[in-house]
Amino acid sequence: MTATKPPSGTRDFLPDDVRRREYVIGVIREVYERYGFEPLETPAFENIETLLGKYGEEGNKLIFKILRRGEHEERGDADLALRYDLTVPLARVVAQYQNELPKFFKRYQIQPVWRADRPARGRFREFFQCDIDSIGSTSPVVEAEELGAVVEILRSLGFVDFRILLNHRQILTGLLVVAGVPSSQHEAALIALDKRDKIGEAGVASEFAARGIDAQSAERLFTMLREFYTPSSKPVGLVNADRFTSLDGYLGTTEYSGAVDNLREIVRLVKGTSAAEYVNVDPRLARGLSYYTGAIMEIAVPDLAGSLGGGGRYDNLIGLFLGRDVPACGFSLGLERIIVVMTERNMFPTDVVHRAVDVMITMWNEDTRGDALALASDLRRAGLRVDVYPEAEKLGKQFKYAATRRVRFVAILGDDERAQGNVSIKDLGSSEQQTVARAEAGAFIKQRIEANG
């Protein structure tokens, strides 16, 4: 007998799980569409060379690789690989369909990705990303719009206590330069800084030391960054004003002042939108991926290590596929983390896990099967969700089954009912039972449902 658990790090979604997921995806999709993003879907796997080398050394190891088939299978090498994120496939799509896509291509994509990470609480090997990306413009309007969409989604789902941290890769570079870290060590420094939430400042310091960054530069950097720590009690607006003053102080006379001005403009644009009170300039934010070139963003909620989502500007990635650079900026929401937090906090509306079925038609005996199915046909035509109990078992057993399945109405087609062209409808909520003409059964039940939900 074969084992029956799903593979390590993956999950089966039973009906109520699917309903909760569909609810969240529905909200995300609706908001993305109101922000003018259009749907895109790409294959689950890509040619392996499309993915290799795009996610850094660590990423290469986490890619699921697919064996060549047929006579090549025995060689044991791979020619395909499962989608690791939605950004690299998008870059490929932009290059492939450049003549069919609009100049400013705004797409959303809600699909699973696969990473061979060690499974842990809230970390899966198959998980959904819900991405938006705007291709073709360097305007800070792009970042402001994406921040607006993400805030509106989180608000619509019922989140109130989040912040969206905002930084710029060139600000981090500027601070590294000011601290005296040589440019050859910048990439290593960013990777270490990105782990601060997990390993603390002391952990970052020892990674710096291990990578040969001198202690004095490290201490100068940490001193600057400490200043940007946010006590959660501080109003966001005030924080942003303070931070621009500090950043001007450190970088105002350097070539990195443009990055500060870029963030200042994004914050200004966001002010007229619902995102205003959630955006928090945070020069400590690093983000792991190496392809970012401009603004970077991440959602922080108090009771979650790790973020609900993040993104940033990456003006060079598409060039790897197209041969010329095209500006781009994206934001990715992590569906499972949103669902983990919403479940823990009991944030789902009660009607998300709804009744699967409005009416169950009981089976009187085997000769009445045809009648039962004809009644089901009528009720479904009236728009009701209808189940037919397949076996002519005792009626009490059939009622009990309906109750465990959260069905509200059962329909009985007994000998009397059939002789008179009627059907008896029992409301399992109130235990009331009423006999109505068959032709009116659909309208009768619909009216009851509309009257008291």
Site for a second copy in 243-302 (CB under 8 A): 265, 268-274
Residues touching a second copy: how many (CB under 8 A)?
113
Closer of 27 and 304 to a second copy (Cβ)? 27
Per the CB < 8 A criterion, the answer to whether 138 and 103 are in contact is no
Sign of CA dihedral 424, 427, 432, 436: negative
Among 239, 304, 388, 395, binds a second copy (CB under 8 A): 388
Among 123, 155, 195, 380, binds a second copy (CB under 8 A): 380
Among 123, 385, 418, 446, binds a second copy (CB under 8 A): 385
Token pair, residue 30, equals: 């609706």
Token pair, residue 163, equals: 């912040």
Q: Does 421 bind a second copy (CB under 8 A)?
A: no
Amino acid sitting at position 178: V
Phi and psi torsions of 132, nearest 5° = -120, 145
The residues in 141-200 that bind a second copy, with binding defined as CB under 8 A, are: 141-142, 144-145, 148, 152
The angle formed by the CA atoms of residues 353, 355 and 357, to the nearest 5 degrees, is 145
The residues in 27-66 that bind a second copy, with binding defined as CB under 8 A, are: 33-36, 38-47, 49-50, 61-62, 64-66
Smallest CA-to-CA distance from 108 within 369, 311, 377 is with 311
Q: Does 425 bind a second copy (CB under 8 A)?
A: no
**In angstroms, what is the minimal distance from the CB of 49 to a second copy?**
6
**In angstroms, what is the minimal distance from the CB of 435 to a second copy?**
21
Q: Does 76 bind a second copy (CB under 8 A)?
A: yes
**In angstroms, what is the minimal distance from the CB of 369 to a second copy?**
6
Which range, of 159-167, 247-255, 357-365, 415-423, touches a second copy by CB under 8 A?
357-365
Q: Does 22 bind a second copy (CB under 8 A)?
A: yes
Amino acid sitting at position 163: R
Which range, of 101-109, 199-207, 281-289, 338-346, touches a second copy by CB under 8 A?
101-109
The residues in 314-343 that bind a second copy, with binding defined as CB under 8 A, are: 320-323
Closer of 3 and 451 to a second copy (Cβ)? 3
Residue written as tokens 């200042």? Answer: 264
- At 408 the three-state DSSP class reads coil
How remote is the C-alpha of 67 from its chain's centroid?
29
Among 190, 363, 412, 425, binds a second copy (CB under 8 A): 363
Per the CB < 8 A criterion, the answer to whether 52 and 63 are in contact is yes
CB neighbours of residue 417 within 10 Å: 20
Q: State the Cα–Cα distance between residues 180 and 142, nearest whole angstrom.
A: 33
Which range, of 4-12, 154-162, 288-296, 424-432, touches a second copy by CB under 8 A?
4-12
Closer of 186 and 369 to a second copy (Cβ)? 369
Convert 171-223 into a string of H (helix), E (strand) and C (coil): HHHHHHHHHCCCHHHHHHHHHHHHCHHHHHHHHHHHHHHHCCCCHHHHHHHHH
Q: Does 72 bind a second copy (CB under 8 A)?
A: no
